Structure 1
Amino acid sequence: MQGTKIENLLLLKVIDGDTVKVELEGKKESLRLLSLDTEESRGGGHKPVTNAGKLASAWAKQWFGTNEEGMPESDIRVNIEFDTADSVATCLEKHRGNYGRLLCYVYKNDENYNLKAIENGWSPYFFKYGRSRIYDDIFLDAETRAQAATLGIWDETVNAGGKSRDYEHLQPWWHMRGSLVERFRNRGIAAGVKSVRLDYQEIVTAARTGEKITVFCDLQGGIQHWPGDGAVIFAGSPQHKFNLWVPDRYIKTGCRILRFIHNRYAGHGRGYIYVSGMVSLYRDKPQIILNTTGQLSDLPPSQR
Structure 2
Amino acid sequence: MFFGTTVEGTVVRAVDGDTARIRADGREVSIRNLALDTEESNSGSRTKPQTPWGRAAKAEAQRLLPNDVAVTLEFPGTEPLAECWEKHRDNFGRVLGFVHAAGLDFQEHMIRAGYSPYFVKYGYAEFPDHHARYTAAEQEAQAAHRGVWDQLAVNGAEARNYALLGVWWHLRAQAIAAYREARIGDPLLFNSRLDYERLLMLASHDTGAIVFTELREYHRVGGRHVVVTIGSLQQPFQLFVPDADSDAGQAILRLFDNRYIADEPDHPRRSYAYVHGTLKLFDGKPEIVVRAPEQISDEPPS
TM-score range, shorter chain: over 0.9
1:64 paired residue number: 65
Tell me how far 1:160 sits from its aligned partner.
4.4
2:36 maps to amino acid: L
2:298 paired residue number: 298
Question: d(CA) in 1 for partners of 2:25 and 2:3?
Answer: 22
Question: d(CA) in 1 for partners of 2:70 and 2:107?
Answer: 16
1:109 maps to amino acid: A
Give the one of 176, 194, 216 matched to 2:212: 216
Q: Do structure 1's residue 180 and structure 2's residue 175 form an aligned pair?
A: yes
User: Which runs of no fewer than 5 residues in structure 2 stay unpaired?
Assistant: 263-267
2:194 paired residue number: 198
1:94-173 to 2 correspondence within 5 Å? 94-134=87-127, 135-162=130-157, 164-173=159-168
Q: TM-score, normalised by structure 2?
A: 0.92
1:14-53 to 2 correspondence within 5 Å? 14-46=14-46, 47-53=48-54
1:230 maps to amino acid: H
2:265 paired residue number: none
The question of whether the paired residues in 1 share the 8 Å contact of 2:108 and 2:137 is answered with yes
Aligned length: 292
User: Which runs of no fewer than 5 residues in structure 1 stay unpaired?
Assistant: 66-71
Question: d(CA) in 2 for partners of 1:90 and 1:152?
Answer: 37
Question: d(CA) in 1 for partners of 2:58 and 2:77?
Answer: 27
The question of whether the paired residues in 2 share the 8 Å contact of 1:95 and 1:102 is answered with yes
| SS state at 1:157 partner | helix
1:194 maps to amino acid: F
Tell me how far 1:259 sits from its aligned partner.
1.1
The question of whether the paired residues in 1 share the 8 Å contact of 2:53 and 2:155 is answered with no
Tell me how far 1:287 sits from its aligned partner.
0.9
The question of whether the paired residues in 1 share the 8 Å contact of 2:44 and 2:50 is answered with no
Tell me how far 1:48 sits from its aligned partner.
1.1
Question: d(CA) in 2 for partners of 1:44 and 1:160?
Answer: 14
Q: TM-score, normalised by structure 1?
A: 0.92
| SS state at 2:156 partner | coil
Question: d(CA) in 2 for partners of 1:249 and 1:216?
Answer: 22
Query: What CA deviation, in whole Å up to 9, does each residue of 1:147-202 have, x standing for no partner?
Result: 11122111233344345110111111111110000011001453321101111111
Give the superposed CA RMSD.
Answer: 1.5
| SS state at 2:151 partner | coil
Tell me how far 1:44 sits from its aligned partner.
4.6
- Name whichever of 263-272 and 225-234 sits farther off: 225-234
| SS state at 2:22 partner | strand
Query: What CA deviation, in whole Å up to 9, does each residue of 1:238-284 have, x standing for no partner?
Result: 00011111111111111110111111111121100100000100111
Name the CA shift for 1:217/1:236 in 2 (closer, same or farther; >3 Å): farther
Question: d(CA) in 2 for partners of 1:239 and 1:101?
Answer: 9
